[in-house]
């Protein structure tokens, strides 16, 4: 699937230098989200997602007796974000650390590589988190690699993961996912 390169217009844009990936409405593409929990490796974490009129909600419970992670991922995509500096998330968190995950066609020893960037979340309030592409590191099955470097022109998938080595419930709500062109990240800003 090729994601249309639609720039936000003045009626629905925070800033003209942003590109909407999804706002989870009928106006943006359905990215085909699905759940991958640590039960793929014998773990006991549980996670799921749902849509309500205002947000995409990822929630569950992590259990470190096993893999200790839960994630939601998109189906295979083909997105060129080479004109942008990173990913911007509008979210309401629970104070825990999460990981944004990107995939490309890159491989390591013949196996698919994913790129991870961790971020903190505001607790029980809406905020904005910028994740520069320079902060994504290649990983294979959780192991950090020296390369290859992320190519934003070749995004084939994305996802959200919690893997902070805690046994407890989690919940993160997303309003939208954007690509942004600012040089400096905003970190966390209240909305």
| Run means of pLDDT, 10 residues per run, the chain, 191 residues | 31 67 91 94 93 93 93 96 96 97 93 95 95 95 87 97 96 96 56 47
pLDDT, residue 97, reads: 97
CA distance 23 to 19: 11
pLDDT, residue 17, reads: 85
Q: What's this model's pTM, rounded to 2 decimal places?
A: 0.85
pLDDT, residue 183, reads: 55
pLDDT, residue 110, reads: 87
Domains of the chain: 18-190 (2.60.120.430)
pLDDT, residue 67, reads: 86
pLDDT, residue 14, reads: 55
On whether the CB atoms of residues 37 and 46 are closer than 8 A, the answer is: yes
CA distance 84 to 95: 27
pLDDT, residue 89, reads: 97
Name which of 105, 165, 164, 115 is nearest 140 in CA terms.
115
């Amino acid at each position: 699937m090729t994601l249309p390169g639609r720039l936000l217009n003045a009626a629905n844009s925070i800033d003209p230098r942003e590109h909407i990936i999804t706002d989870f409405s009928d106006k943006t593409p359905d990215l085909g989200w699905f759940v991958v929990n640590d039960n793929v490796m014998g773990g006991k974490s549980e996670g799921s997602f749902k849509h309500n009129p205002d947000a995409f909600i990822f929630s569950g419970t992590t259990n470190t007796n096993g893999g200790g992670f839960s994630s939601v991922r998109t189906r295979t995509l083909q997105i060129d974000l080479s004109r942008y500096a990173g990913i911007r998330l509008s979210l309401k968190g629970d104070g825990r650390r999460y990981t944004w995950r990107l995939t490309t066609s890159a491989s390591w020893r013949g196996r698919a590589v994913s790129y991870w960037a961790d971020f903190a979340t505001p607790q029980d309030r809406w905020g904005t988190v910028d994740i520069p592409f320079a902060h994504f590191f290649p990983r294979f099955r959780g192991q950090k690699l020296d390369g290859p470097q992320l190519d934003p022109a070749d995004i084939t998938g994305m996802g959200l993961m919690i893997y902070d080595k805690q046994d407890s419930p989690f919940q993160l709500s997303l309003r939208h996912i954007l690509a942004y062109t600012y040089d400096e990240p905003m970190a966390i800003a209240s909305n």
